[in-house]
Amino acid sequence: MASYNSLTDLQLIHLLKEDDQHAFAEIYSRYSESLAGFTASKLYSMDAARDVIHDLFVKLWEDRKQLNITLKLKAYLFTITRHRIIDEIRKNITRNEYAAMLRSFTNAYEPNAEQQLAMKELQQIVENSVDQLTPKVKEIYKLSREENLSIPEIAEKLQLSEQTVKNQLSTSLSHLRKSLSKISVLMISLWWMS
């Protein structure tokens, strides 16, 4: 077959649907850098941008058989990226809002007995949720969140691949997000008590 870099996007999509890894690599080569630049300009973090783009291409490979691209490939990828950026911003806003609420509870005033009890319950929910993780996922989560180690640092310390660390962190955060429903009710009640 001709060199992959001389193929059109439509030809690459057709080959991708037939499990052609070289076609996937060519699509990645053509678009990952511009997608990462676009994402970094919106998220103000190259690490976050790389994670978003990595996840996008993983999903592209996983869903290759069902692809139904009616736009140009570049437009399709940028549209999907835009949606992922919005999701990432929403996640960060929620996380930052919870952190700001907690700071305001601890810094703005001396909590009364009910608020202290609610804060202890909140802390207990988070601790219980972390305790439910498998030992390896729990260790990776604690190294990331409590010791503030980066993904490469955790990978080196535990002698794992960076991708394994990312996957385990994703698992832990997904589990903790499920606990957020309980936490959000508690946070709202704490906020209304102030």
| pLDDT tens per residue, range 105-114 | 455 455 566 6
- Locus of tokens 């703005």: 108
Mean pLDDT of the chain: 78
pLDDT mean over 169-174: 81
| pLDDT, tens digit (0-9, with 9 covering 90-100), for 35-66 | 988 888 887 778 888 889 999 999 999 989 98
Residue 88's pLDDT is what? Answer: 78
Residue 101's pLDDT is what? Answer: 52
H or E stretch covering 60: helix 46-62
DSSP state of 66: G
* Tokens encoding 46: 């190259």
Asked whether the beta carbons of 165 and 155 are under 8 A apart, the reply is yes
Q: How confident is the model at residue 69 (pLDDT cuts 50, 70, 90)?
A: confident
Asked whether the beta carbons of 189 and 118 are under 8 A apart, the reply is yes
Residue 180's pLDDT is what? Answer: 57
Could you give the domains of the chain? Answer: 4-87 (1.10.1740.10), 111-193 (1.10.10.10)
Query: Residues of 134-163 as b/e, b for ≥16 C-beta within 10 angstroms?
Result: eeebebbbebbeeeebebeebbeebebeee
Residue 192's pLDDT is what? Answer: 43
- Locus of tokens 């999701």: 87
Given a cut of 50, whether residue 159 has pLDDT beyond it is yes
Q: Which positions ≥6 away from 173 have C-beta within 8 Å?
A: none
CA torsion 96-101-106-107 (nearest 10°) is 80
